[in-house]
């Protein structure tokens, strides 16, 4: 059961890390709202790296953000958190691969492999939290500007990249928790059977020495 749990958690983390990378590369973190618009001539959308405009013919023109210092604080922070999440996820993949019981690397014992798996799970949880904070912060700013009646700029809605990021963060957090709980199940089972590995102790009966054998011993 513990092996299946840790393998399931590992693949959940792997898919979550890939989804995090797809979210970073996705162009549609926020899309211009069409609420109250009569004639739509073009569509605007942005992510952490550039802003794009798409006309009615489907031709897009993108412009990268030139200066990082000119960007709002939340975009700079989201960039850093997403990059940290990807790096942590890569480290978590390496450690979790080394900790899988079905993969033999070197002469590591099951206990040391379990500890390595727990460390990988914790790192995946941290990566998921970084992604969750970045995505939620970015989405909160979009919602705040959209609901602000005094905001004079273009109002945006939540884009596809945010939903992909939320899914990736949830998979990393849940998968990391599965990896940690798999090791706890094994350790608890060992503690219960520490004194009697085979279950209940077996009673061993030995035959008592006969009278002839004892008399021979004194001769």
- H or E, element range at 32: strand 30-32
Q: Using one digit for the tens of pLDDT, what is the confidence trace for 150-160?
A: 887 788 999 99
d(CA 118, CA 207): 50
pLDDT of residue 188: 56
Domain boundaries, the chain: 2-218
pLDDT at position 219 is: 47
Residue predicted with more confidence, 92 or 152:
92
Residue 139 has pLDDT above 90, yes or no: yes
For 2-218, give the CATH class: mainly alpha
Segment 78-100 mean pLDDT: 94
Contact, 13 vs 163, CB < 8 A? no
At 119-136, the pLDDT tens digits run 999 999 999 999 999 999
For the chain, how far is it from start to end, CA to CA, in angstroms? Answer: 62
Q: pTM, whole model, 2 decimals?
A: 0.78
* pLDDT for 40: 55
Is the model's pLDDT at 113 over the cut of 70? Answer: yes
Rounded Cα gap, residues 26 and 213, in angstroms: 89
Region 39-58: what's the mean pLDDT? 82
Q: Tell whether the model's pLDDT for residue 201 goes beyond 50.
A: no
**pLDDT given for residue 204 in this prediction:** 53
Higher-confidence position of 39 and 89 = 89
Q: What is the mean pLDDT of residues 166-195?
A: 77
């Amino acid at each position: 059961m513990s092996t299946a749990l840790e393998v399931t958690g590992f693949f959940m983390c792997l898919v979550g890390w890939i989804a995090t990378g797809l979210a970073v590369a996705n162009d549609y973190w926020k899309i211009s709202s069409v609420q109250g618009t009569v004639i739509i001539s073009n569509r605007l959308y942005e992510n952490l790296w550039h802003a794009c405009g798409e006309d009615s013919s489907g031709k897009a023109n993108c412009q990268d953000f030139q200066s990082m210092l000119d960007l709002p604080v939340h975009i700079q922070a989201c960039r850093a958190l997403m990059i940290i999440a990807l790096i942590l996820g890569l480290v978590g993949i390496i450690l979790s691969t080394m900790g899988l019981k079905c993969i033999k690397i070197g002469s590591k014992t099951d206990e040391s492999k379990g500890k390595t798996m727990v460390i990988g799970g914790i790192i995946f949880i941290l990566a998921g939290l970084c992604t969750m904070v970045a995505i939620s912060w970015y989405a909160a700013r979009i919602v705040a500007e959209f609901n602000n009646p005094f905001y004079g700029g273009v109002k945006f809605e939540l884009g596809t990249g945010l939903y992909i990021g939320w899914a990736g963060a949830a998979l990393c957090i849940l998968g990391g928790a599965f990896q940690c709980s798999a090791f706890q199940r094994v350790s608890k089972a060992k503690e219960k059977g520490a004194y009697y590995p085979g279950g209940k102790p077996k009673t061993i009966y030995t035959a008592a020495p006969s009278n002839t054998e004892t008399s021979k011993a004194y001769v």
